[in-house]
Amino acid sequence: MSGSKTDRLEEGMIALLLAAMTILTFVQCILRYIFNTGFPWALEATGYMFGWLIFLGISYGVKKGSHIGVDVLVKKLPVPGQRVIGILVVLLCLAYAGLVLYGSIRYVGTMRILGVTAEDIPIPRWVLLLAIPIGLILLVGRLLESAWLVLSGKLTGMRLADEAREAIDQFTVPEEEPKGGAIR
């Protein structure tokens, strides 16, 4: 799951989806409010692109440690305790992801059997909904990678965003060295 090519592919897909959504929404606003026209499929397309963005972003967020978690008590434990809690958290996340993955595969399969198409886009809905199982499969892979990193001692738990540190850093002004060089 890891590797710079995989990271670049994920980042590229996420950036492409975000750019496409932004451009489509901007063009749709211009068409609608200036020219009193527009694309009837734009809102639905943006919704599906957003779904893909979310489900690709979930696993990427695990990889980069950008999900929010409350770990103030866990950080007070000794390292072995942190690792036990880390494995427990990963196992719970895997159970949840597995349950949702199972449901999404059944749902996409049902849409495929029924032959339902999107409302405004002439594409089978099951193709557009593949974002859910694909994103969850990527998430399971990232969670397994996290479990391996904890078991091998490279991490004590899942990577999480440290919003408190980021907020402190945002409002802390770094001290400047005196002009003419530092006196030592």
Instruction: Quote the pLDDT of residue 66.
Output: 84
The number of beta carbons lying within 10 Å of the beta carbon of residue 78 is: 8
> By CB neighbour count within 10 A (0-12 exposed, 13-18 middle, 19+ buried), where does 131 fall?
buried
Quickly tell me which residue has 């893909």 as its tokens.
52
Is it the case that residue 47 has pLDDT exceeding 80? yes
DSSP string, 124-180: BHHHHTTHHHHHHHHHHHHHHHHHHHHHTTS-SS---B-HHHHHHHHHPPPPPPPTT
Query: At residue 182, what are phi and psi to the nearest 5 degrees?
Result: -80, 145
| pLDDT band, very low/low/confident/very high, at 39 (cuts 50, 70, 90) | very high
Q: What is the pLDDT of residues 117-161, one digit of tens each?
A: 999 999 999 999 999 999 999 999 999 999 999 999 898 887 777
Q: Look at residue 4 in the predicted model and tell me its pLDDT.
A: 75
- Structural domain boundaries in the chain: 4-166
Query: Which one is predicted more confidently, 63 or 175?
Result: 63
The residue among 167 and 14 whose pLDDT is bigger is: 14
- The pLDDT value recorded for residue 184 is 46
Lowest mean pLDDT among 61-70, 100-109, 125-134: 61-70
Least confident segment among 67-76, 95-104, 140-149, 174-183? 174-183
Residue appearing with tokens 């026209």: 37
Check residue 3 and give its pLDDT: 60
In whole angstroms, give the CA distance from residue 90 to residue 157.
Answer: 8
Residue 102 CA, chain-centre distance (Å), reads 19
What pLDDT was estimated at residue 46?
A: 97
The tokens of 84 are what?
Answer: 């036990």
Average pLDDT over residues 35-52: 96
